[in-house]
Amino acid sequence: MLHNEQSVLAADYAYCEEIIRQHSNSFYQAFSVLPREKALAVYAIYAYCRTADDCVDENDSTASKTTA
């Protein structure tokens, strides 16, 4: 992997870690004891699911306002 790609990947994982840290301290604490590579994978999955859920919730809220 090229150095720039490693930097981008590290930044992406840091972003995912920040999402789980901000939104679920208990999940963050539980998974932070895993080996770093596995913890980063969990952070990425959590961030993906959290972002998808937020998008759905936002769309549901918008739909409710337009039908009311």
The pTM is what?
0.77
Reply yes or no on whether the pLDDT at 68 is more than 80: no
Question: What was the pLDDT predicted at 43?
Answer: 98
**Residue ranges of the domains in the chain?**
3-67
Write out pLDDT tens, residues 26-63. Answer: 999 999 999 999 999 999 999 999 999 999 988 766 65
By C-alpha distance, which of 14, 11, 15, 46 is closest to 28? 46
By C-alpha distance, which of 22, 17, 11 is closest to 41? 17
